[in-house]
Amino acid sequence: MAKSQSTNLSQLVGKISGLILQEIKIGDLGTNLICDVSTGKPPPLVLPDWRRRVFDMIHNISHPSIRATKNLISSKFMWEGLRKQVTERAKKCLSCQSSKVYKHVKSPFGSYALPSKRFNHINVDIVWPFPVCKGYTYLHTIVDRFTRWPEAIPLQDISAATCARALISGWICRFGLPCDISSDRGTQFTSEVWHEMAKLFDIQLHHTTSYHP
């Protein structure tokens, strides 16, 4: 950034238009910086040899997003092509690539005891979409864990209340009350309606662990 840098400063300044560049003395060190005085807080012109240092100094503190890095650097410094160069460097930051990948913490695998008799423990799920037929486009699937007997009940919507009614009319009224129901963590099966139904019929609910389908 200092005037004594070997870069041809006059040639560099000549490439930048629309700015009011002026030498400003910094402190008592006798160092002059070329700054854009068209703004209230003149940002210094950063020469090529110093740009990587400026980027590292600001970005490596907390590794903000690309947009935040560009805003932080452009608010304090200026040079030709600043935003493009900062974007390219931020994309290549290895720390950002390794730490900002969206990761899910997987829960431990659950285990279920084998059912002792038929229709004691069932698995439920929602399968969709299907071509609309008479207003139906979803299937509420129910499988008995002991016999593997399947049922598929067509649904027009997949609200918790609709799924609960389908289970009662399509399974419980035919095969009796199960002791246990296993499902994924779909909103229908974690809803208050579903839990109230289970409480009413004294059914134990089980949900698969997160990110272990």
Question: Does 110 reside within a domain?
Answer: no
Q: Are residues 88 and 155 in the same domain?
A: no
* Residue 4, token pair as written in the block: 């004594």
Whether residue 141 is found in the same domain as residue 187: yes
Q: CB-based contacts of 202: which residues, under 8 Å, 6+ apart? A: 177
Contacts of 98 (CB under 8 A, 6+ apart): none
61 three-class SS? helix
Whether residues 125 and 157 share a domain: the answer is yes
pLDDT for 3 equals 46
* Domain-terminating residue out of 66, 99, 132: 99
Confidence of residue 35 (pLDDT cuts 50, 70, 90): confident
- Asked if 136 and 156 touch (Cβ cutoff 8 Å), the reply is yes
- 170 occurs within a structural domain: yes
Tokens linked to 204: 């134990």
Co-location of 26 and 86 in the same domain = yes
Do 88 and 156 lie in one domain? The reply is: no
Question: Which range among 7-16, 146-155, 173-182 shows the weakest confidence by mean pLDDT?
Answer: 7-16
What percent of the chain has pLDDT above 70? 77
* 87 and 160 inside one domain: no
Range of the domain at 166: 121-207
Residues 126 and 202 in one domain: yes
Q: What's the structural domain count of the chain?
A: 2
Does 105 fall in a domain? Answer: no
Amino acid making up residue 191: S
Residue 185 covered by a domain: yes
3-state secondary structure of 111: coil
Whether residue 104 is contained in a domain is answered as: no
- Name the DSSP class of 47: P
**The domain spanning residue 176 has which CATH number?**
3.30.420.10
Residues 139 and 196 occupy one common structural domain? yes
Domain boundary residue, one of 69, 99, 129: 99
Does residue 112 fall inside a structural domain? no
The domain that holds 29 is classified in CATH as 1.10.340.70
CA distance 36 to 75: 12
Q: For residues 30 and 171, what is the distance between their CA atoms, to the nearest angstrom?
A: 87
Q: Compute the radius of gyration of the chain from its Cα atoms.
A: 32
Q: How far apart are CA 37 and CA 25, in angstroms?
A: 13
For residues 9-16, average pLDDT: 57
- Quick: pLDDT tens for 44-97: 888 888 899 999 888 888 888 889 999 999 888 888 889 999 999 988 888 777
> ω before 42 within 30° of 0 (cis)?
no
Instruction: Tell me: do 129 and 190 sit in the same domain.
Output: yes
Q: Is there a domain that residue 133 lies in?
A: yes
Q: List Cα–Cα distances, 68 to 52, 54, 163, in angstroms.
A: 17, 15, 45
Q: What is the pTM of this model?
A: 0.49
Question: Would 27 be classed as within a structural domain?
Answer: yes
Q: Any idea which residue has 């129901």 for tokens?
A: 181
